[in-house]
Amino acid sequence: SGDMMSRVVNDLFDICEAAHHVPEWIIICAIEIIGSFVILFGLSPALAGAILVVTVVFAAVMVRMNLTMRATFTDNRKKIGGVNAQLQDSLEGIRVVKSFANEAAESAKFRASNERYLASKEDMYGTMGRYYGVYGLMTGALYTVVAVLGGWLVAQGELSAADMATFALYISLFCTPIETLVNSTEMYQKAIAGFRRMDEVLRTEPDVADAPGAPDLAVGPGAIEYRGVCFSYPDVELDENGEARERPVIDDLNLTVRPGQTLALVGPSGGGKSTTCSLLPRFYDVASGSITIDGQDVRDVTQSSLRRAIGLVQQDVYLFDGTIGENIAYGKPGATAEEVAEAARRANIADFIESLPDGYDTEVGERGTRLSGGQKQRIAIARVFLKNPPILIFDEATSALDNESERVVQESLSELACGRTTIVIAHRLSTIKGADEIATVEDGRVVERGTHEELLAAGGTYARYYRMQFAQGA
C-alpha cells in the first residue's frame, strides 16, 4: 500500500505538473528556435547549415541519453515506493515493534531501504549530470563553429563583419529555448516514469470480474449451496518429483445452508473455514464447482448486488479515521441520524456512544485506536444492522475479546442473526452451541455435520475439540 500511495500521490503530481508546463514550453521554444534559425539562415546559409548539423548530431545523442534517464527515473520511483512501504509497515506495526523492543531492527530496515533509494538517486543525478554536460558541449561547439567558420567566411569576403556580429547574437537566441527544453527534461522524465507506473495500475485486470451483461442478484430468502467446490491460492508447493503444483485449500466441498439457518463452521486452523466464507461474496472465484444463493450462481450476478446481500463481521475490525457516526453510516451511505442511532441501539453500543461528550461525532482515530476491541466490534455490528443484509458471515467475531465483552457482543450478534441466513466461524465452541447446525471442516472438506448434541454423541472430531476446550476451561 505504501508503493500504491507513492503512485497515486507522487507520480500523479509529477504527471500533472508536466501536463501543465511542458506543452506550453515546447510550443514557445519551437517558435523561438524556428524563428531564430530563419533569421540565421537569412544572414548566412552556409553558417546556419553548419549550426543545423551540429544541433542535429547532439540532439540525436541527447535523445539516446533520454532513454537511459527514463530508466533511472523509473527505478528511482520504485525505490521511493519501497521507502514509503517500509515506513508505513513500521508505523502500522508500532505496538509490535515496541513490544519486542525491535526499534533498532526497524531502523536498520528503514536505513537499508533509504540507502537503496539514495543509490538510485545518485545514479539518476549522475545520468542528468552527463546529460547537461553534453548540452554544455553542444553550446560550446555551436559558438566554436560560429567563431571558426564565421571568421573564415569573413576572411573570404563571403560574410560581413556586421553580419558576423549579428549572427553571434542570434546564436544566443537560438540556444536559449534549447536550454529551456533541456532543463524541462527532468520534469518530463519524472512524468513519463510516473505515467508508466500509473498505467501499470490502470491496466491491472481484477482476478474477479462481472460476467458481461450480468444481472443483479435477485434477493430471496437466502438459501446457500456449495456444490463440489475446489479452490487453491496462487502460491505453489513442490510435489515428490520437485515440480511446482498448487496447494488445494478447498477440495470438493459440499455444503447447504437453509434460509434463516445458522450454520457454524469449526475445525483446525488452515482447514479452509475462512476461505469457504470468502468464496461466497466472491473475494475469490472457485476453481471448480459452484456456489449458489437462492439458486443463482454467484459468478453470474454482479459483485455489487451480491455483496450488498451479505454482511460480514470479522475478528479484525477496520474502522475508518472519522467519527463513530460516520463509521456506522458506512453500512448505508446516506442514512439518517435516526437510522444510525437505531442501529447503534440494536448493537448494544448506543449507551456508550451517548455517554461520550461528542456522542456520535466522537473521532475514533486511525483504525479505531481510541476504542476498545469490544467497542469496535459493536460498531462493526451496528454497521451491518444498518446495511440489513439477508445473509451474514461472522468470522471469529468474538475470539479476541475478553469474557464480558464477548458476552455483550454475542448478544448483539444473536439479535443480528435473528431471521437471517448466517454462517459462523468460531474456535470457542461455547459460542456456537446454539447454532442450528455445526459442520466440521478439515483439509477443505466437511467431515461431519449435525447439531451440538448430535456431534457430541457421534464422538468425532467436534467432540474431541469440545472435550479439549472443556478440559482447558476446567
Q: Which residues 6+ apart lie within 8 Å of 105 measured at CB?
A: none
Domains of the chain, by residue range, sit at 2-202, 224-473
CB 381 within 8 A of CB 327: no
- Nearest Cα to Cα of residue 450 among 264, 321, 295: 264
Predicted confidence pLDDT, tens digits, the chain (474 residues): 667 777 777 788 888 888 888 888 889 989 988 998 898 888 889 888 998 898 888 888 888 888 788 888 888 888 888 888 888 888 778 878 887 788 888 888 888 888 988 898 888 888 888 888 888 888 888 888 888 888 898 888 888 888 888 888 888 888 888 888 888 887 888 888 888 888 888 888 888 888 899 999 998 888 999 999 999 887 655 555 555 566 788 989 999 999 999 999 998 888 888 899 999 999 999 999 999 999 999 999 999 999 999 998 887 888 888 899 999 999 988 889 999 999 998 888 898 999 999 999 999 888 788 888 888 888 988 898 889 899 999 888 776 566 777 777 777 788 888 888 999 998 888 778 888 999 999 988 999 999 989 988 988 888 888 888 766 544
- Sheet containing 310-314: order of strands: 310-314, 391-395, 421-425, 262-266, 437-442, 445-450
Q: Which CATH fold topology does 224-473 show?
A: Rossmann fold (3.40.50)
Q: Show the cell assigned to 185.
A: 527534461
State the virtual CA torsion across 441, 447, 452, 455 in degrees, nearest 10: -150
CATH ID of 2-202, from 1.20.1560.10, 3.40.50.280, 1.10.760.10, 2.60.40.10:
1.20.1560.10
Residue 328 contacts residue 344 (beta carbons within 8 Å): yes
pTM for the structure as a whole: 0.72
Q: Which residues of 206-245 are buried (b: 16+ CB within 10 A; e: fewer)?
A: eeeebeeeeeebebeebbbbbeebebbeeeeeeeeeeeee
| Separation of alpha carbons 20 and 130, rounded Å | 27
- Contact predicate 222/259, CB 8 Å: yes
